[in-house]
Copies of this chain bind each other. A is one copy, B any other.
Amino acid sequence: MLPALRTEVYEANLELVRRGLVIYTFGNASGISWEERLIVIKPSGVPYETMRPDDMVITNLEGRVVEGSLRPSSDLATHLTLYRAFPPIGGVVHTHSRHATAWAQACREIPCFGTTHADYFCGAVPVTAALTPEEIQSDYEANTGAAIVRLLEGRDPLGCPAALVAGHAPFCWGKSVTDAAHTAVIVEELAAMAWQTLTINPAAAPLPAALRDKHYFRKNGPKAYYGQKA
């Protein structure tokens, strides 16, 4: 089933390794076929070195495995919550990449300090509120997704394709799992730059709105003029 999506999800997972965002069995990427309403996701705790495309697990939107002999990522329920709440998205990526995780652990949003950031996010990479003990003790993974959904309330999820979960790490999404993995790499880079910016100037201010919007809309939306014509 879904051989092309299976390969794309597999490659997106490997891209996280190649870009240095994950070690051992950290991280997970998934993609969805909205037509089939099926999700392809990395299996839980399988080392990247030996992982094969066939190891990807296919589930429905309720999380029932429909193909694959391995258990899906333990974060599956977070992915499912995001897919159900954000219908325009086609992929979800979760990593514990070093710099982005440091911001999540600091319970701080990543401020939009520069144009590198504004090329991807028209504002901060937001951070969720802490989950309550009740949310943690029951349906933890789904509630992690729900905290992200609440954080994005009223926004186009493709206009803010990542969030930090407080005390945890980033989740990223996009039109495809390839895009979500790309965003995960970008968020890691933005987190590293922002950390150093703060050290150099603890009073550093976010980018003025005019410059932020200029860069964001130069690369995103109908008036974008970065890159080659489609």
Q: Chain A interface (Cβ within 8 Å of chain B)? A: 19, 23-26, 43-46, 70-71, 74, 96, 98-99, 101-108, 113-116, 130-131, 133, 136-137, 140, 167-169, 182, 185-186, 189, 192-201, 204-205, 207-208, 210-211, 214, 218, 225-229
Chain B: minimal CB distance from A57 (Å): 11
Given A46-B228, A228-B44, A228-B70, are A101 and B137 neighbors across the interface (CB < 8 Å)? Answer: no
Q: Does the CB pair B45–A208 fall under 8 Å? A: no
Q: Does the CB pair B131–A211 fall under 8 Å? A: yes
Nearest-CB residue, chain B, relative to A210: B133
CB-CB < 8 A to A115: which residues of B?
A: 96, 167-169
Given A136-B210, A214-B140, are A185 and B226 neighbors across the interface (CB < 8 Å)? Answer: no
Apart from the given pairs A19-B23, A106-B113, A198-B200, 9 other A-B contacts in the complex at a CB distance below 8 Å: A98-B192, A102-B193, A102-B199, A105-B114, A105-B194, A106-B200, A115-B168, A130-B208, A167-B211
CB-CB < 8 A to A198: which residues of B?
A: 199-200
Q: Does the CB pair B196–A98 fall under 8 Å? A: yes
Chain B: minimal CB distance from A90 (Å): 19
Bound-state CA distance A102–B114 (Å) is 8
Q: Does the CB pair B136–A228 fall under 8 Å? A: no
Bound-state CA distance A130–B212 (Å) is 12
Chain B: minimal CB distance from A128 (Å): 12
CB-CB < 8 A to A96: which residues of B?
A: 115-116
Q: Does the CB pair A167–B114 fall under 8 Å? A: yes
Q: Does the CB pair B136–A200 fall under 8 Å? A: no
Bound-state CA distance A200–B124 (Å) is 15
Contact of A106 among B140, B201, B210 (CB under 8 A): B201
Contact of A102 among B74, B133, B200, B208 (CB under 8 A): B200
Interface centre among A101, A133, A136, A185 (most CB of B within 10 A): A101
Contact of A107 among B192, B195, B201 (CB under 8 A): B201
Contact of A101 among B46, B136, B193, B218 (CB under 8 A): B193
Q: Does the CB pair B167–A208 fall under 8 Å? A: yes
